[in-house]
Amino acid sequence: MKDRKLLNSELGRLTPEEYRTVRPSSGIVLVLDNVRSAHNVGSAFRTADAFGVDKVYLGGICPVPPSPELHKVALGAEESVPSEHVDDVVDLGRRLQAAGYTVIAVEQTEHSVKLDEFCAGVEEGVSPRGACPPPDKGRGRGPLDTSPEGTQETMGGAGVERSGTESPLGDTPSSKPRYALVFGNEVHGVQQEVVDACDFALEIPQKGTKHSLNVSVSIGVVLWALVQRMNCQAGA
């Protein structure tokens, strides 16, 4: 097989300014909970750029732009993807829920939902593994329900009304599903208080002996799967 590699000039790359202007909202934001390494944060920005993530929230001790180490890995993606530093990730989660987001901790927990099942739309037998759920299904009040409107949820014990029409974060209101994916520290993972406050936990099924992935790898795996699920649901 002969297949010529494309040159960078043939990839149709946009400038950061052009990208921010023309890209549609994906409905996905990343929340990094005390991710320590500037290289991992830079990788998160680069992956977020690739999958059209709307925003990256940098919690606690996360390195923030501008940073030479971060830039070395992000390759400028920290300029195309909006970001914000937050001190309190639990409080951020409450605000995201109020804005209509389903807040998901990517973590191994007692009741975590496997990524492949979530992305196959498996909820109470609605859809077979590997198939997109019908558009009028998947509305039961289970851990996979992502309907943003007319539901009462809690984050850290505080009742939050999810209208799906107002956003305290300045986001454009949207009726389509909105997801906030929370990824944790390289050693300790997502803080337990943050896990407790999320809508549910999502786990990447793994073989082998480690049951552990670098956080930047996890971000890529989950984003790819989630974007495919959303495209499938939208009929893309």
Task: Compare 133 and 60 and report the one with higher pLDDT.
Answer: 60
Query: Which pLDDT tens digit goes with each residue over 55-96?
Result: 999 999 999 999 999 999 999 999 999 999 999 999 999 999
- Of 17-26, 44-53, 134-143, give the range with the top mean pLDDT: 44-53
Q: How far apart are CA 25 and CA 48, in angstroms?
A: 12
**What pLDDT was estimated at residue 223?**
97
Query: Which pLDDT tens digit goes with each residue over 194-233?
Result: 999 999 999 999 999 999 999 999 999 999 999 988 887 7
Q: Is the predicted pLDDT of residue 153 greater than 60, yes or no?
A: no
Task: Compare 52 and 176 and report the one with higher pLDDT.
Answer: 52
Query: Which pLDDT tens digit goes with each residue over 161-188?
Result: 333 333 436 555 556 789 999 999 999 9
Q: How far apart are CA 33 and CA 62, in angstroms?
A: 7
Task: Compare 226 and 236 and report the one with higher pLDDT.
Answer: 226
Which tokens belong to 185?
A: 């520290």
Mean of pLDDT over the chain = 82
- Mean pLDDT of the region 140-150: 37
Which pTM value belongs to this model?
0.79
**What pLDDT was estimated at residue 162?**
38
Question: 16 near 4, Cβ under 8 Å?
Answer: no
The pLDDT > 70 percentage for the chain reads 76
Q: In angstroms, how far is the first alpha carbon of the chain from the final one? A: 30
Nearest to 177 by CA among 114, 231, 221, 116: 231
Domain range annotation of the chain: 23-127+145-234
Q: Is the predicted pLDDT of residue 109 greater than 90, yes or no?
A: yes
Domain 23-127+145-234 has CATH 3.30.200.20: no
Q: How far apart are CA 218 and CA 106, in angstroms?
A: 8
Residue 24: band (very low, low, confident or very high) from pLDDT cuts 50, 70, 90:
confident
Q: Is the predicted pLDDT of residue 30 greater than 70, yes or no?
A: yes
Q: How far apart are CA 198 and CA 33, in angstroms?
A: 13
Residue 152: band (very low, low, confident or very high) from pLDDT cuts 50, 70, 90:
very low
**What pLDDT was estimated at residue 17?**
85
Q: How far apart are CA 62 and CA 45, in angstroms?
A: 12
